[in-house]
Amino acid sequence: MFIRNAWYVAAWADELDERPLGRTILGEPVVLFRDANGQPAALQDFCKHRGAPLSAGRVTGAGLECGYHGLVYAGDGRCVRIPGQTHIPERAGTRSYPLVEKDACLWIWMGDAAAADPAEILDFPYHSDRKWPHKHTMYPVAGNATLLIDNLMDLTHLGYVHATTIGGNPSAHVDAKTDVKTTEHGVKFTRWLLDIPAAPTIRKAVPELGETIDRWQEFEFIAPACIVQWSGSVDANTGAYDKGKRDGGFQARLFHAITPETEASCHYFWSGANGYRIDDPQATEDLFSELCRAFDQDMAMIAAQQQRIATFGEDGLVNIVADASRVHMRRVLERMAAAERTPPREAATV
């Protein structure tokens, strides 16, 4: 079951050109389009005349035109044109979803529209910050969304899955000093790996780093679907950990938004921002390439894990010490899911 009353990333804003874009979100086929004024909108991807997907149509001045028999829909879901007749019945309208453009993303609300408050969308100003040039993409993932969030909330996998890229030495990750905190909207953890050799990706990005480094990873999970990350590495024993001197060296900010497609698949919107050679576009490209290599490794593992869990379920699995953040994150999701299943108190007393 999906948590519906929440903002999810439906697309990168720049994915949407003059053509409509079809995408399944929380199990529902959705079509995204920009109207003649550039205003983005999201409708159920289903013409109420004969069931054709509206994503196979085109945008006209009046709205989104079905490619089969030409009915036209406005961004709010109203049918505004039926070829051959002037009367337009109200039930020819299709469902629309609240959609907000913010920080390079299109955010959709799949639940009760009355409860949708754009002020609750998280802030990620780095997507338009010249000090953090970034590159982004969307990965289709053959696994349940929660498996991908698990992946990001237990970084001990870096030494195993990503030894050749962002990981490096497994024991450095296992021995990291880790601090986990509850936040208003989720969980935040900080890890420090002190006096270790730099992982291959970091060494490539900033070759002038010393033989050993101090590395931090700050991950904040904002339920139910986003993680924002700040990672950095500086020369070892230069005061980053104990004196807060975190300038220079390698610096990256990552944005992760995980939107369920079906129970067994999700859309992974992520970006990587270069904070170490901000005037060098190639540095941003190179960081992105390295992250692609690493995340491809994750995608393969998650697809394999999904297949096993589809067979055996998760009930017999065993939590370990390294799972602290992950277990916390799961509890937050369970509380949100339970809250959606329970009618509000006022309703219950009526």
The interface with its own copies within residues 79-118 (CB under 8 A) comprises: 82-85, 89, 91-92
Q: Give the three-state DSSP class for 347.
A: helix
Pure H helices in the chain: 145-153, 158-161, 170-174, 200-205, 240-243, 281-312, 324-341, 345-349
Name the residue nearer to its own copies (CB basis): 94 or 284.
Answer: 94
What is the four-CA torsion angle of 294, 295, 296, 302, rounded to 10 degrees?
Answer: 120
Name the residue nearer to its own copies (CB basis): 321 or 338.
Answer: 321
Q: CA–CA distance from 53 to each of 66, 68, 86, 316, 333 (Å)?
A: 8, 9, 23, 41, 32
Answer whether 256's CB lies under 8 Å from 105's CB.
no
Residue 62 is a binding residue for its own copies (CB under 8 A): no
HSE of 152 in the Cβ direction (CA atoms, 13 Å)?
A: 28
Name the residue nearer to its own copies (CB basis): 56 or 59.
Answer: 56
Name the residue nearer to its own copies (CB basis): 278 or 322.
Answer: 322
Answer whether 227's CB lies under 8 Å from 146's CB.
no
Name the residue nearer to its own copies (CB basis): 121 or 194.
Answer: 194
Q: How far is the CB of 226 from its own copies (least distance, A)?
A: 21
Residue 170 is a binding residue for its own copies (CB under 8 A): yes
How many residues in the shown chain lie near its own copies by CB under 8 A?
51
Name the residue nearer to its own copies (CB basis): 116 or 161.
Answer: 161
What is the number of other CB atoms lying within 10 angstroms of the CB of residue 229?
17
Residue 331 is a binding residue for its own copies (CB under 8 A): no
Give the Cα separation of 195 and 239 in Å (integer).
11
Exactly one of 70, 111, 197, 248 binds its own copies (CB under 8 A); that residue is: 70
Q: How far is the CB of 130 from its own copies (least distance, A)?
A: 38
Exactly one of 164, 307, 331, 334 binds its own copies (CB under 8 A); that residue is: 307
Residue 161 is a binding residue for its own copies (CB under 8 A): yes
Q: Which of 232, 270, 271 is nearest to 252 (CA)?
A: 232
Q: Give the three-state DSSP class for 334.
A: helix
Residue 177 is a binding residue for its own copies (CB under 8 A): no
Exactly one of 5, 12, 52, 293 binds its own copies (CB under 8 A); that residue is: 52
Q: Which of 104, 103, 113 is nearest to 42 (CA)?
A: 113
Residues of this chain that bind its own copies (CB under 8 A):
29, 45-46, 48-53, 56, 65-71, 82-85, 89, 91-92, 150, 154, 156-157, 159-161, 170-171, 174-175, 300-301, 304-305, 307-309, 311-312, 314, 316-318, 320-322
